[in-house]
Amino acid sequence: MGVTIEVELDTKMVDWLIKENPPGEVSRIVADGVHYGFWQEVGVENGFGRGIRIPAHPFMTPAVEAVRPGFEKAFKGILLTVASVEAVVVKVANNVMRLARVHAPFDTGALRGSIHVE
């Protein structure tokens, strides 16, 4: 004695989403252009086997964490098109770049000046 349940699948919305949002990634990379940026971010113990210690001076992480709530809010419960996703990603990347430059440790200006969006 089983119960039969009939389900009808309406694929119109799925078809529309696939058409409006073709597969692919929308991404931007925020990077620095100096060889020591990573070590400034995370620090180093016993650097180069010479006992050099560089304390961490995070600048990218605070920038990312500062914009994370707005990024998550932009995608929560909203039907987005590729164009609007692209706009959000570009805005977030530019905000991360701007804030990373603010948080970057003072150096000759090379680190701050090298932070860019790809």
CA atoms of 69 and 91, how far apart (whole Å)? 13
pTM of the shown model = 0.71
CB 30 within 8 A of CB 61: no
**Is beta strand 52-54 parallel, antiparallel or unpaired with respect to 44-47?**
antiparallel
**Residues in contact with 44: Cβ distance below 8 Å, sequence separation at least 6, in sequence order:** 52, 53, 54
**pLDDT surpasses 80 at 20:** no
Question: What would the pLDDT profile of 59-114 be if each residue is shown by its tens digit?
Answer: 999 999 999 998 888 877 666 666 778 888 899 999 999 999 999 987 778 999 99
Annotated domain spans of the chain: 12-117
Residue 100 is predicted with a pLDDT of 94
